[in-house]
Chains A and B, each alone.
Chain A
Amino acid sequence: MDKHSSEHKGAGTIKTGTVDKTPADGLTRRDALFAGAASFAFGSLGLAAGAHAAPSAKPTGQAILGFSQEVTVLHPLMAASEVDQGVWWNLFSPLWMLDAEGKFVPVLAKAVPTVENGGISADGLTWRVELRRDVKWHDGKPLTSEDIRYTINLVKNPGFRAANRSGFNLITSVGVDGDHVVTWTLKEPYSPLTSMLSWAFIVPEHVLSKNPDPNSPQFAAAPIGTGPFRFVSRKTGDHVLLEANPNYFGKGPSLNRLIFKYVPDLNAMYTQFKTGEIDYIGLQGIPANFYKEATALAGRRIQLAARPGVENLTLNLAHPVLSDKAVRKALNIAIDRQSICNLVYYGVPKPANNFLAPTHWAAHPNLPKPEYDLKKAAAMLDQAGWVKGPDGIRVKNGVRLSFSNSTTTGNQLRAQTQQLIADDFKKIGVEMLIKNLVAAVLWADFWRNSEFDSLMTSVTYTIASDPDVTNRFGSGSIPKETGSGANVGRYKNVGVDTLLARARQEYNIAKRKEIYAKIQELINEDVPILPLFCEVNIEGTKAGLDGYVNNVNVRANSWNTANWRWTA
């Protein structure tokens, strides 16, 4: 049932004589090392070989990429889901991007601007970006600095339904200097902008500016980009079909067609991966209970793809019990994370002690390991003055040590985890009641007005993979109090606020890393969240499909399909 040989509809040959440096060049060797370490050496060596051998070969074959979320939004600047971005990487290009190692590599820009290379002025306020000269839109028109100006202004446009304006609202004016240089100035220095722009896919000015309505559905119905694949068709509820862009400025693509297939049921998706009807199984991946079986499948490569989300208990710090730091610290060591990972999640994820995934470039390497010590936890509660009442639950000043935990209904693994945690908490005289809600109710006022006691969800604390977590831990980001942000646990620490502000103004990556390490230490000490484990997605490809690389800095691993190719 393999399909890669079934289709060879003709796209023209790829011109590669004129391209200089490509995104693939910047990635290949590092990817090979990274990939080798992650124990799928064959695939990535294939990628390395592929990138250097005969790049002008005509794209052949197709790959069917299975996702359990439907591709919906094809306008790359609107609010969307993970899998939508997985398609955008193929249709569009940003100025630069974060590779799998967390290093910025140029894509449409010639270089990533820094203070050191003069792309950013010493005061951090003026940015200058030079573009590649060999980039063409899918309709054949050349990419110019006007496209960059238009894209930035579109995100700033109050009438446009942009997903997120972080950083863009600080840009005061955008200027162009000829066809290939764009400049802008900021109100104040803002280093996370480099990350924000790594997820800002450039859209064509010559197409979009014709329509007075910035939200017109026309563009999303037939998007035009600069990416390695171009849009062919979509069948809602079923698939989106792309074909190779013969004028792509980078290396590749080697595949002629790419199909993003929607398979709503995870069991059905895994079955289709087994029978060969899909070539790659992406988000939400193979259910953990099939992990062992999947690793034994012939002709399939299974990868544990570390994702940026952290499964955790977000504590509401305004709750009379959870506002006590001693309680939070005791709870933190009363959770048997290893057993949760092993018993509930089939040994796939690893216990976490931080809000950043360990693979993130700014992750603190030496935070204390998560402990599990019920005696010590009980002693901490004793010391803090919480004494056991007649029903076995501790009491202090008339307040029972009781709170509820909520997650979305229908997730069995989370329900089991809640049970394990509640059992352990009970042993130290803490009552955790379980109060689960359907997703539409939970992700509404309940969440934004901090109506919960504690929440069990997976949270990606970064935006565009930037470690600036002001949105999640800044005291000005509590929706119930300020109407903005996503700090629903209502965490407040002046020290963290100050450090976050300093890090936002610091352009030197090494120095930023130092500041974020301090922030992680402070948050680790305050315990506003109880991290459980880092999210891992079990993904897989057919053995003959090479080029797959997990990248924790993008939202879906179909980010480098220009390098994917069939070798068998």
Chain B
Amino acid sequence: MKTDKTIKTLLATSLVATMAIANPSITAVKVDDSIDLSKVSNDDKVWSKAKRANIALYPQTTIKMNDKNANKINAKNFAKDAKILAVYNSNNVAFKIDWKDASENKADITTSSDVYADGFAVQMPTNFSDPKKLPYIGMGSKDRPVLVHLQKATATHYEPNGNKDVSLQVNRHQTNTFEKELAAFDKNVSDAAIKDYQRAYISEGFRSMTQIRDKDIAFNMNMSYNKGSWSATMSKALKDGYLDLTKSGAVPVAFAVWDGAKLGRDGIKNLSTWVAVDFEGKKGNEALVTELTAKVEGDAKAGKALTDTMCASCHSYADKVAAMPTMAPNLSNIGGYSTAAYLVESIKDPSAVVVAGYNRNAHKNTAWYTLGAKGERVSTMPPMMSDDKQIADTVAYLMTLKAEVK
């Protein structure tokens, strides 16, 4: 059967992706300006022109959320394989993301307190001029903001909106209306609903994530479920009030997906590392593509020995669980969603990027940072190594720390 063959090929490809140390990039194919990419749909014929890239999405394990049931379900997650297509023209860039999900979860939110919707997000840095100093993958870091574009499959919901429609908030049985008038009331309520859970955020680390409520960001997302897979698109103007890609030859992009069946939301997700999206036929940002696709040079075996002696007392990873779980970022999937440059930077200068971590009230004895005189975050991790060979070996090992793709 043809489908079986495709799956086998896919498995083989993803396995290779796991084994290889270098990360793939995504080629955005140039299409004609007459095509309106801002309204592109999942089954648009423009996608037939695109080149597929397989990007692995790793389970977020850096911090552990406090939902007992979710932690049980997500204890041993595998990485997911996302098939990504990208096209661009003078006005827009558009992505199509396909990933497997055994069930469609739309979270019928009108009556439930404990169901969650599937969803996906596309993240981009607002500044990527230095490919060695990209924002932290977990929604940016101090002075390195990211834009997050989020789409959830959440059905109808309402928001406090300042539209003075308070009369629509009452229970329908308290309205003094019957039959036709009640039906009209129901319709007005339904019309006031937000049917598309699509949001954009700007963030310097996940605690600071703030919703963008102005009209200066131009993007569109949609997702549809069909036979065990989600198909999603995200299109974005090449230039809006927050990001200008008109002069870029490439841009780093990260993808994340949530599985409602696994109580996924926020940090309970699968995410990619920064992936270089190369605008085909456009010059600029060659260093970015080189950096994000480079093979990590180093002796991973020597690096393991270094990691075990120098990192394991605070960090948990692989079979190393000696450290207190809240002591430091868990490194179990660090190789899956980190760039090598980030790891090098963090080993040399841990305070360059301080992970937002837990609320400082949640685990007082294991704070990940102290506050400096000006309120700046100073990592509790001291600079660990200065020898470049040691650092390269350690990073080579850390890059192998990631879940298998399934």
- The answer to whether A and B come from one shared complex is no
Residues on A facing B (Cβ under 8 Å): none
